[in-house]
C-alpha cells in the first residue's frame, strides 16, 4: 500500500511540473525504478507513458480553454513528432545512446545560461513566422524533439518550450501550451509501441494517471494564474535539476 502511495504522490508532482514546463519524468521515472526494481526498464518506461499521456492531455485542454493556442504551430509539430518518435524508438534498439547521455548535461547548461542571460527571453509573445514557413519550422521542431523523445527522452517538454520561445518567438506561456500538444503526440506514439510489445503495467499506470491528471490540473492553473514570469522561473529550476540528474547519470553512475 505504501508503494502505491509513493507512486501516486510522484505522479501528482510529475503532472504538476509537466503541466507548467515539462520535465515530470524527473520525478515519475525514478519513482517507478525505485518501487519496481525487478521490472525491466522498457516496461517501466511504458507504464510512465501511460500515466503521463493523460496528464498531458488534460493540461493541453486547460491551456486551450484559457490561453490562445497557436494551432498553426502546435498541430504540424505534433504530426512530425508522432512520426519521428517511432523512428527514434527504433534507432535506440540499433545504436547506443551513451554518447547522448554524456552530451545532454552540456546542452542543458547552454539552454539555462541562454535563458538567464536574456532577461526578456520569453516575456513577450511575438511569433516570427507565418504561413508555410511557420508550419515548416514547427515540423522541424516536432521532428527533432520527437526523434529525441523516442531515442532518449529526458527533458523533452523543456526542450520544446525552449525551442518554441527561441525559434518561433513565443512567450513562455504560449510555448508551454503548444508543447503540451506535441508531447501528447510523442507519448501516444511511444505508448502504442510499448503497449503492442507488452511493456505496460496497466493497473499501476492507470492508478498513476489519476494522480498525474490531478497534478496537471493544479500545474496548468498555477501557470495560467501567475503567468509567463512564473513559467520562466520554474523552467530554470527544472532545467537545473535536469543538468544535475543527467550529469550524474552520464558521468557518475
Least confident of 30-34, 119-123, 208-212: 119-123
What dihedral angle (degrees, nearest 10) is formed by the CA atoms of 200, 202, 207, 211?
A: 40
Q: What is the CA radius of gyration of the chain?
A: 17
Give the per-residue pLDDT at 57.
95
Least confident of 6-15, 58-67, 102-111, 217-226: 102-111
Q: Helices 41-66 and 202-251: crossing angle, nearest 10°?
A: 100
23-77 pLDDT per residue, tens: 888 889 889 988 999 988 888 888 998 999 999 999 999 999 988 899 999 999 9
Taking the mean position of all CA atoms in its chain, how far away is CA 168?
A: 18
Above 70 in pLDDT, residue 97? Answer: no
User: What is the domain range of residue 105?
Assistant: 2-251
C-alpha–C-alpha distance, residues 172 and 227, integer Å:
8
Domain count, the chain: 1
Amino acid at each position: 500500500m505504501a508503494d502505491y502511495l509513493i507512486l501516486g504522490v510522484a505522479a501528482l508532482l510529475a503532472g504538476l511540473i509537466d503541466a507548467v514546463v515539462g520535465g515530470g519524468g524527473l520525478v515519475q521515472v525514478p519513482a517507478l525504478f525505485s518501487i519496481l526494481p525487478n521490472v525491466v526498464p522498457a516496461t517501466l518506461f511504458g507504464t510512465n507513458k501511460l500515466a503521463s499521456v493523460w496528464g498531458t492531455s488534460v493540461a493541453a485542454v486547460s491551456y486551450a480553454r484559457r490561453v490562445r493556442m497557436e494551432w498553426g504551430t502546435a498541430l504540424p509539430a505534433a504530426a512530425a513528432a508522432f512520426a519521428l518518435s517511432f523512428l527514434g524508438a527504433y534507432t535506440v534498439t540499433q545504436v547506443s545512446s551513451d554518447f547522448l547521455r554524456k552530451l545532454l548535461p552540456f546542452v542543458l547548461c547552454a539552454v539555462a545560461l541562454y535563458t538567464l542571460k536574456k532577461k526578456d527571453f520569453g516575456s513577450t509573445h511575438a511569433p516570427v513566422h507565418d504561413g508555410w514557413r511557420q508550419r515548416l519550422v514547427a515540423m522541424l521542431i516536432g521532428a527533432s524533439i520527437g526523434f529525441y523523445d523516442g531515442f532518449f527522452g529526458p527533458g523533452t517538454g523543456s526542450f520544446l518550450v525552449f525551442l518554441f520561445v527561441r525559434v518561433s518567438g513565443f512567450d513562455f506561456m504560449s510555448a508551454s501550451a503548444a508543447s503540451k500538444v506535441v508531447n501528447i503526440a510523442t507519448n501516444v506514439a511511444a505508448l502504442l509501441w510499448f503497449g503492442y510489445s507488452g511493456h505496460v503495467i496497466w493497473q499501476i499506470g492507470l492508478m498513476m494517471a489519476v494522480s498525474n491528471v490531478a497534478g496537471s490540473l493544479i500545474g496548468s492553473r498555477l501557470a495560467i494564474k501567475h503567468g509567463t514570469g512564473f513559467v520562466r522561473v520554474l523552467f530554470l529550476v527544472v532545467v537545473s535539476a535536469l543538468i544535475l540528474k543527467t550529469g550524474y547519470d552520464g558521468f557518475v553512475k
